[in-house]
Amino acid sequence: MSACRAIKTRCDGQNPCTNCYNNRRECCYRPSRRGGARKGNAFKVKKRAIAATNTPSPSLSLGPIETQGLPYALANLQDVRDLSVGDLTSDENSNPACELGSLTIRAYGCEADLINAYYVFIHPYFPVLPPPAVAQYEDRPFAISLRTVQANQAFLPYWPTSPFALALFAILVLFPLPEDPHSMSETAASARQSYAELYAHAAMSSIENWADLPEPATHLTSTAGDPTRWSSLHPDLPWKLEPILALVLLGMYELCQRGNFSKMRARANQALTTAVDLSLHTADPDEPGCSDAQSRAWWMTMFLSYHSSILNNSSPIILIDDPRISTPYPVFRGCLEPWPLLAKAQDTLLQTCNLAKELEKEDRRSSQSPNLIDRIRELNSRISSIAAESDRYRCVTNRQGAECFAPRNLWAIASAIINRAFLGHPLFLGEHCGLTSINRIDSLNSSHPLSPSGITKINSTFPFTEQESAAICLKSSLAVSRVFRRLTPPNLYYTDAPSDNEALPGSSTSRFCPRSLPYIACCQMQSFYALTLLLRRVRTSLSSGDLQACYHLLSQPEPGSEVQDAERLVEELRHGLESLSASMRADVAFEGVAGMVREIEGVCFATLS
């Protein structure tokens, strides 16, 4: 706030204020000499939210949104706008002041410690490498003290040369150190971001130089005259796969840290093109040279390609059912293999997005597509079938370690993805996940307003009633909240040594350690908003005594017990909201998630206080 006063800029009164946050400055408050501190917008919105909690909420309309042209079962645009109470912080000490002399970042001193950190933080959620070749041990980072937020390679104890190692560092440096009391300050976040960008740029340069090195073979299979070259990072990783995996990790970096979907797609397409050039997609499962590393490299690249297509609302350059693909799915040898389910879930979600685009075009057509209703019903049936399949996973093994956590987490992520397909087109207060803020929808669509006949046409096209759609959203959003409540967090102190295996996975994680790689944070946020609107609706029904408005949301209600059923649903909705909010707050170290977290904190204050 004192910085705002120095440059004669209006301060919004938050902590940190928007100006300091956007310019990555330390936000320090200095009392005004002209009548005391200004209360700013934060005070006004808090007061408005508290007043709102003491009065019944207005009834939520289930009508379609006229400015969008898609049938939304939960609310209209104003209902979502009413959830906003500003960018609030849940704890005034959540961003403590940090002197430059106390800055620390994460670093590693050798390849062995770096790869071990990969199996702690990355592999359980995004397994691009084969299983660990050596026993896992507890995380061993170096705490590098800094006196400036500007990245400097000279301060680092170890600088890798391979593109994969550099890309891995670009993500790992974003994880705060467990004992750093200032890890969530703006200065510390700026320092981590600065070093992440240094690593990411170095990784891209290394990939370009890698392409200029002599190529040992077109295919990865070993021959007597031209043996496969192996990476120094893992004995089962062919050397030529490193730039592909580096591009995949850099795509994740662009998504989770920078929220740059276009660059994420560029990295994914470059990785996929390189993989095709190496014929990774045509491996024969019975061929001796078809390694697990090759299968994982291909299918994780395909996963990122599909994920970027979904987020960018575009078509992938290679479809998952392309007949030219013969490479088998990776095998984890667990209770159930997650890859078939994960592939079907992604492909179905992409089809859902494509169908949603067709629904948006219905108003501009003179006649309705003859088979559109049948396609919607067929797609809904497929989503239901895959969702039921995802619910059948019940792993009872007590095995631990990154390779055991990975299939469980991938199965859970597949469940979240397929339930995301039920939720339809998302609405956010801010501009997240490549979507336009609802606060700009009216102005963007004012030149092409939806006609009453267009609304009628879309309603007749959609084969489900508003109540049916609301019940589906309830079930799916609660399923997503359970996924993130049960997701195994990184265990910094896990080791394969028998004497140390008594600790449960995730029982020794740091307070500020992210819970996962947040590459499906958009799914979390959409489920959060769906649960919020449903909670407001049920509360309104309870306060007005009109339970018929939420009767379709109750599970097998009986005459005389409707109030208890509704109150039980309120608790379930609150629990789901708290799970999603806690999960996203845990990943706030990633800048791509931080803006989402600031938005949902304001919604939480208005909804749960």
The stretch 470-487 carries a mean pLDDT of 90
pLDDT of residue 87: 40
Instruction: State yes or no: pLDDT of 448 exceeds 70.
Output: no
Beta-bridged to residue 107, according to DSSP, are 142
The reply to whether 108 and 11 lie within a common domain is: no
Backbone φ and ψ of 146, nearest 5°: -125, 155
Q: Indicate whether 61 belongs to any domain.
A: no
State CA 22 to chain mean position distance. Answer: 22
The reply to whether 486 and 589 lie within a common domain is: yes
Cβ atoms within 10 A of the Cβ of 550, count? 25
The reply to whether 490 and 576 lie within a common domain is: yes
Among candidate residues 285, 306, 331, the one where a domain is terminated? 331
The reply to whether 22 and 125 lie within a common domain is: no
Which structure tokens are listed for 109? 């001193």
- Give CA–CA dist 400/508, Å, rounded: 14
Quick one: which H or E segment has residue 460? helix 452-461
Instruction: State yes or no: pLDDT of 420 exceeds 70.
Output: yes
Q: Indicate whether 69 belongs to any domain.
A: no
The reply to whether 110 and 18 lie within a common domain is: no
Q: Coil, strand, or helix at residue 142?
A: strand
Q: Indicate whether 267 belongs to any domain.
A: yes
pLDDT of residue 545: 86
pLDDT of residue 376: 84
pLDDT of residue 496: 84
Q: What is the CATH number of the domain that holds 5?
A: 4.10.240
pLDDT of residue 14: 64
Quick one: pLDDT band at residue 210, thresholds 50, 70, 90?
Answer: confident
Quick one: pLDDT band at residue 24, thresholds 50, 70, 90?
Answer: low
- Give CA–CA dist 523/117, Å, rounded: 27
Which structure tokens are listed for 145? 């003290």
DSSP single-letter state for residue 177? P
Q: Indicate whether 415 belongs to any domain.
A: no
The reply to whether 14 and 128 lie within a common domain is: no
Residue with token string 């309830």 = 474
The reply to whether 174 and 266 lie within a common domain is: yes
The reply to whether 298 and 200 lie within a common domain is: yes
The stretch 422-449 carries a mean pLDDT of 50
- Give CA–CA dist 127/101, Å, rounded: 37
Highest mean pLDDT among 2-6, 61-65, 245-249, 512-516: 245-249
- Give CA–CA dist 272/249, Å, rounded: 13
Quick one: pLDDT band at residue 85, thresholds 50, 70, 90?
Answer: very low
pLDDT of residue 401: 85
DSSP single-letter state for residue 230? B
pLDDT in tens, 257-304: 998 999 999 999 999 999 999 999 987 766 655 588 999 999 999 999
Contact present, 95 and 16 (Cβ < 8 Å): yes
Q: Indicate whether 355 belongs to any domain.
A: no
What percentage of the chain reaches a pLDDT higher than 90? 34
Q: Indicate whether 185 belongs to any domain.
A: yes
Domain range holding 292?
A: 101-213+232-331
The stretch 54-72 carries a mean pLDDT of 34
Q: Coil, strand, or helix at residue 51?
A: helix
Quick one: pLDDT band at residue 447, thresholds 50, 70, 90?
Answer: very low
Instruction: State yes or no: pLDDT of 200 exceeds 90.
Output: yes
Give first-to-last CA distance, the chain, whole Å.
27
Quick one: pLDDT band at residue 138, thresholds 50, 70, 90?
Answer: very high
Query: Which DSSP string corresponds to 243-304?
Result: HHHHHHHHHHHIIIII--HHHHHHHHHHHHHHHHHTTGGG--TTSTT--HHHHHHHHHHHHH
The reply to whether 490 and 582 lie within a common domain is: yes
Among candidate residues 331, 350, 374, the one where a domain is terminated? 331
Q: Indicate whether 389 belongs to any domain.
A: no
Mean of pLDDT over the chain:
77
Quick one: pLDDT band at residue 249, thresholds 50, 70, 90?
Answer: very high
The reply to whether 107 and 22 lie within a common domain is: no
pLDDT in tens, 310-352: 988 888 999 999 999 999 999 887 667 899 999 999 999 999 8
- Give CA–CA dist 89/575, Å, rounded: 20
Total domains in the chain come to 3
Q: Indicate whether 395 belongs to any domain.
A: no
Which structure tokens are listed for 313? 């609302």
The stretch 474-501 carries a mean pLDDT of 83
The reply to whether 279 and 134 lie within a common domain is: yes
The reply to whether 322 and 471 lie within a common domain is: no
pLDDT of residue 83: 53
The stretch 356-373 carries a mean pLDDT of 68
pLDDT of residue 146: 87
Instruction: State yes or no: pLDDT of 511 exceeds 80.
Output: no
pLDDT in tens, 521-580: 889 988 998 899 899 889 989 988 888 888 888 877 777 788 899 999 999 999 999 999
Among candidate residues 310, 331, 352, the one where a domain is terminated? 331
pLDDT of residue 505: 44
Instruction: State yes or no: pLDDT of 432 exceeds 80.
Output: no
Q: Coil, strand, or helix at residue 336?
A: coil
